[in-house]
Structure 1
Amino acid sequence: MKQSHLIGLATPLLLSAGTLATAESFYQYAFRRINYIPDARRSMQKYAASYYRHVHWVESQANIEAWHMTAPDNQRLEALWLPHPGSKKAVIVGHGYKGTGITMSNFAHMFYDLGFNVLLPDDRGHGESDGQYISFGWLDRLDYLGWLQRIIDRIGADSQLLLFGTSMGGATVSLVAGEPSLPKQVKAVIEDCGYTDVETELAYLLKKQFHLPPMPLVPLASFLNYRRLGYPLRVVNVRQALTRNHLPLLVIHGAEDVYVPTKMGRQNYAASAGPKALWIVPGAAHAESYWINPEAYQAHVKRFLDIFF
């Protein structure tokens, strides 16, 4: 066989090997845990002083507790519990991608002021919890069911529970809302800037941030995820989960969000089957809606909660 024919036959194999290597690198970049909290993007650093005041407030509470839970697959999970003495209301606050529970201290402070006990979980692959890879809410949704039961055991069967999260956390609590075994004590859901589904979000970010086409990297990442975490990415579908949600839902999304596009908030809102409200926050980029005007954010959340709590 001529050398030119050998090169021609080898080229697709080399290209395939290169594509697989690129997919593996992409998967490791997007899914593998990191053991630190990344710096805030430059546009958010102007809020740093306020952010750290809330962190200090949470960490200085004398009655704060560290909670632990072992999931059915033996993953050890960690959370912070901030009790509000005498209150039967509690909220789980879901954090964003590569964040931790403590990074949601501003929301913990807000909900505490609104009379809620507050649970701040570290999701799998984040903070003090186990997990080598980030599940983008899919495995976490079942963990949150465990945390909900733990709260009910703590404050009673007559408790009133709220699910809240931003970005990945918003997607996570929306996935929880679609679960058939959701406890009756859960009364409402608030999701801020959550995505519609992981495959669409990854395809969008590949094009926007890396100028790469979604094919074949997203399907290959899905295959890698199936091998490592046991499920294809297509199942992480928030919009589909919300079609099964009949709880009151408030969707918040920044009008200038180009990380999780604003249209995703509208699509999640449209999908939900229960009572719902949509607040598109003018001028807000991704996860910025609270920081632009904390007082207005709290007032908007309170108006929603006053209807259902």
Structure 2
Amino acid sequence: MNSPQRYPIGSTGQKWSDADKSAWLAMQSVKRSYQEQVLSKVLALGGQFTLEQYGALSCDEARYPLYALKSRDWQSTKPIILVTGGVHGYETSGVQGAIRFMETKALAYAEHFNIVLIPCVSPWGYETINRWNPSAIDPNRSFYQDSPAEESAALLAYLAPINADIFAHIDLHETTDSDNSEFRPALAARDAVVHDNWNIPDGFYLVGDTINPQTAFQKAMITEVEQVTHIAPADDGGKLIGVELAQFGVINYATKALGLCAGLSGAKYVSTTEVYPDSPLVDGENCIIAQVAAISGGLDYLLSL
């Protein structure tokens, strides 16, 4: 286990002030293009799916529009499936996996489901490769009423008309080495807490809902992903990221209590994917394929019910 690192912003034992948050924001820089890598692909799918803009980030509305893609043959008799990517913008395969699913698989599943896909919840985070938004807020801890994160608030407002009817929700994420090298030290400094670093699992895993784990659903997703990449083994304590293993490749979180994206609805079937892109056994393409496999495995299971 790695030892915690001292973060260059803030004072030991004191939560960040507004000045500290401004100093953190000043350290951030654009490292890739949301327009070129995400928007261009999303807009190109407008010919096959309904394209809806549900907002834009206030830091630059022209640069960071927020889009959803929906299956066109929407029918009230079909179950609603929600797929979200880029809640943490730095998690590349979550964004690209969501888009790849729409490019390659979604039309076939749209015969059976109403599909709503949010390719990139946090476009500023995507460009700056960040877990937080410009206000140093984690959108994935902010899915609740009167959310302080505008990314989360915009998505909640957009989904409000169908929220109670969402049948399944798959949220696409990654766990990276930068969680320990950058994001957890920043979190510890921001909140003035001791935040022990965890061993980062080498492989794919899922996070279910503690209250509603849906074991068979999670297992079906893991089985499908096993065909394309390796599943993370538990550590010596039988845990993944500090949480007891529920089954092979699966842990559970209190999704609603923690304000996680996966807990935003009353969906019966919920799962959060976690890919490890820094593994020597994978590359970026394999991570994207694994995300698509997870979605397909979950939807195939639902079709079998």
When Rg is computed on C-alpha atoms for both structures, the one with the higher figure is 1
TM-score by length of 2: 0.47
Higher RCO (C-alpha 8 Å, min separation 6)? 2
Give the alignment's TM-score, normalised by structure 1. Answer: 0.46
